[in-house]
Structure 1
C-alpha cells in the first residue's frame, strides 16, 4: 500500500517542479475620476483599478504634472496648492498609465455687510471682539494721488483718527462709542482679554501738514490703554517697554497679551502683557527672516507669526513660526508657497500689508493683493489660495482690518490702491466690510 501511494504522489511533485511561474501583465489602468474640479480647501482620493484583476504587479506610481498647482502622495491623495490645472498620472511598472485632469477652483465666499461707520473709509484701524460684539476704530482716512517717480503726493486729504465703533453681527449695525482718549493714530495693536479690550502703540502725527497738505512728520507711540465695554470707558495702563512703532502684532493666549515686531524692517522684540498686575515681560526675540509687517494670530494656546518683508533684501517672506507660552520658545513651521510673482515686480510688498486671523482652528492670511491663504496647524500645511477678497476693480487693498465674532470672521476697510495715470498711483480708503464664509 505504501509503495502504491508513493507511486501516485511522486508524479504530482515532479509535475509541480516542472511548471514555470507565469507573470500576468497589466493591460489597462482606470481611475475613479478622469477630470474633476477641486476646491482649494478640499483634498481628493484617486483610486486606480488595474485590469486584468489577476495582474501580477499591481504597484502604482503617482505623479503631478505641475506641483505648484496640486501635489499627490504615493496613495493617490491629491492636495490643492494653487488655483490652476494639473494632470495626475497613475502608472504601473508595465508602463500602462491613466490621467486625471485636476482644475483647482476657489473655495469660500464673501458676504457683503453694513459699511463701516455709516460709510466712512478707513485703513490701518484696530479691532477686537468681546462677547457677541466687535470694536473697531482709530486708523486713518488719509487718501492721495502719488507720483510713482518719487516726490510729494500730488494731492492729499484726511488724517489720523481717534473714533471708536461697536459692531453688532446679529443686527449688522454700527454704533459710535466714546472716542479713544490717546493720540490719534494708525497701524496700532489690539486684542481682548476677559471682557476688556487693549489698544496701544502705532503711528501718530507729530508735525501737522502745511496748507498744501505736505511736509508733515510722524512719530511712534508706546502708550497702552484698556477699554471697558460695560461703561464705555478707557483707562491708561503702563507704557509698552519697547520702542514705539507702527504695525506691531498682538494676540491673546490664556489671559495674557502678546505684542511685538512691527516697524518697517527693524523690530524683532516680543513681549508678554499681564492685565492682572499691569506688567510687561520680555520674551525671546522672533527668529524668523522677516521683521517688518509680520502677521500674527493665535490657535489653541499657541501663537503664529510670519510673512512680512525680509529685513535683508526687503522681499516678501512667507515663513511661519509658532510660539508656545508653555515652553516660552519658537518653533519653525511650514512656509507658504506663494506664487513667485509676489516676490518680484509690483507685488513685491504684498506680504508687508497682509492681515491674519484664525477661525475654526485654522489660520488665514490675506495679502494686500487680496489673495487668501489657509493654514492647518494640525497637519502643518497650507492649502493654497481660496476665494480672493473683493475690492473695487480688484485693486490692491492695503492695511485691512479683521475681527471674529461668534465663530464668524469679518474682513474689510483698507486702502484701495490703483493706477491713476502714466506716473500716478492713487489710494482711497475703503469702508466695505465682508463676512468670510469658509
Structure 2
C-alpha cells in the first residue's frame, strides 16, 4: 500500500539574507528538540539478545544476508551459525570448509545474498590461508571461489561497494604487515589488484558508505594508530581523512548504517581494552563519541548489520572469551544534516524516523532538489520509502531560506492520523 508524507523545509544560514545563495557544502548542526506526538527520535539503543549457543568466540567473522546474521570461526573454532533476527534464535550450520581445526582472524563480506569468508589462519597450528569460500544460506552449502593471487594473510579487512568486494592489509605468515589491496568480482569470480594502501595495516577497522571505503586505526608500522583513509573506486585512489578522535587501537569492530560509519571496542599496548563507540560522518568528515558498549571491554568481537540495525558481540578480554550478543539501533534523527548549493540544485541529506504503530518509518532524504534562480526556494522530488513492516510511502516537499536557521517540518498521513514533526538546525 502507498501512503503520503509531505515535507515542508525552511532553511537559512546566518551569513546570508533570504535572497542570497547558500554556500556549497554547508553543514547545519542539529540544535533543537523534536516536537509532535509520535516523532521524538529514539536515542542510541543497545538491547541484549540471545547469546550464541557455542562457547565464547574471539577473532571470528560475521556477515548479513537476507536480513539475518551469520557468525563463525575464531580462535580454535571452525563452526558456523545463523542468527534469525526475527525470532532471536541461533541455528548450527555447516562448518567453514578448507579448515583443519580453526579459522581465526579471517574477514567476511556479502554480495547479492551470498556470504564470503576470506583468508585467516589457524593460530593453534601456525597456518595462514588465502582461500575464498562462498556460503549459500538457502541451501546451507559452501563452495570454493577464486583464491586471491596475493599472499596468505590474517587480520585483513574487507568492505563492499556496488557489488564489488575489496580486501586488503593484514599480516603474512611471517607476521609482516601488508598494504596490498584487491578487488573481487562476484560476476567474474576473479581478483584484480588495486592501488596499495598509504601504509601497512593489520587488525584495522573498515566499512563502506556513500560509495566509498574507509579504513581507520589498527596496527600501522608496528604500532596502534588513528589514521583514517578513504578509498574512491571511481579513481582507484586513497585520500587521508580526519584522524580517529579516540585512543589509538586495534582489533575492534566496524560497520555502517546509511552514510555513517561506526567503530568501537578493541585494545592497545599496555593492557588497555575499550568499550567505547564512535561515529564517522562520510558527509562531514567528522567523528562523534557515542555511548559505551554494554558488553564491556573486549577485543576481536564480530558485528554485522541487518535491516538498519547492527549486531555486535563475542570477543575476548585477557583470557576470557564471550558469547554475548547485542542489538544496536542508532538515534532516529541525525545530529547533522547537509545542504549543498549547485548552480541549479541543492544536495540534501536528512535522516530521521516517524512512529507508525510498530512499523516506524526510517527516512533518509539524500539526493538533489531543484531550486529557483535565487536559490531561496527549493522542491524535493517525490520518492518512496518503506517502513519496517514493508508498507510503502510517497514523500515530497518544498523549502525556502530565511534568517539564520534551517527548519524541517514533516506532515505524515498514516493509520494513526496526521502527525507533524519539526526540528531546527543552525550553521
Task: Assess same fold via TM > 0.5.
Answer: yes
For the Cα contact (< 8 Å) 1:265–1:310, is it kept in 2? no
Alignment-derived partner of residue 321 in structure 2? 429
Distance 1:299 1:306 in 2: 14
- Say which one has the larger Rg: 1
Does residue 228 of structure 1 match 2:136?
yes
Do 2:212 and 2:233's aligned partners in 1 also have CA atoms closer than 8 Å?
yes
| Pair 1:196 & 2:114 matched | yes
Is 1:265–1:292's contact at 8 Å kept on the other side of the alignment? no
Partner of 2:420: none
- Alignment of 1:353 with 2:251, yes or no, is yes
Residue equivalent to 1:112: 48
**More helix per residue: 1 or 2?**
1
Give the C-alpha shift of residue 336 in structure 1: 1.7
Give the whole-Å Cα distance in 2 for the aligned partners of 1:113 and 1:128.
17
Residue 371 of structure 1 and its aligned partner are, at CA, apart by: 1.0
Equivalent residue number for residue 69 of structure 2: 134
Match of 1:387? 291
Q: Residues 322 and 180 from structure 1, CA distance in 2 versus in 1: closer, same or farther, beyond 3 angstroms?
A: same
Aligned-partner Cα distance in 2 for 1:130–1:297 = 16
Gaps of 5+ in 1: 1-46, 48-74, 80-106, 141-159, 206-215, 344-350, 418-426
**Which structure ranks higher in relative contact order (CA pairs < 8 Å, sequence separation ≥ 6)?**
2
1:304 aligns with 2:219: no
> 2:300 aligned with 1:399, yes or no?
yes
Gaps of 5+ in 2: 1-13, 15-26, 32-42, 267-273, 331-427
- Is 2:193 the partner of 1:282? yes
TM-score by length of 2: 0.63
**Alignment partners' CA distance in 2, 1:199 and 1:330:** 25
In the TM superposition, 1:232-381 aligns within 5 A as 232-263=140-171, 266-288=177-199, 291-311=201-221, 314-338=222-246, 342=247, 351-368=249-266, 369-381=274-286
What is the SS of the residue equivalent to 1:285? coil
Counterparts of 1:406 and 1:135, CA distance in 2: 14
Deviation for aligned residue 1:190: 0.7
- Separation (CA, whole Å) in 2 of partners of 1:197 and 1:372: 26
Q: Does the 8 A contact of 2:305 with 2:311 survive in 1?
A: yes
Match of residue 85 from structure 2: 169
Higher strand share: 2
Q: 1:236 Cα shift?
A: 0.7
What RMSD over aligned residues (CA atoms) do the two structures have, in Å? 2.1
Q: Deviations over 1:35-94 (max 9, x none)?
A: xxxxxxxxxxxx9xxxxxxxxxxxxxxxxxxxxxxxxxxx99799xxxxxxxxxxxxxxx
TM-score, normalization: structure 1? 0.61
Show structure 1 runs of 4+ deviating over 3 A. 75-79
Residue 32 of structure 1 corresponds to: none
> Residue by residue, what CA displacement relative to the aligned partner does 1:328-365 show, whole Å, maximum 9, x if unpaired?
11121111222xxx45xxxxxxx111211101320011
Among 97, 101, 104, which residue is 1:186 paired with?
104
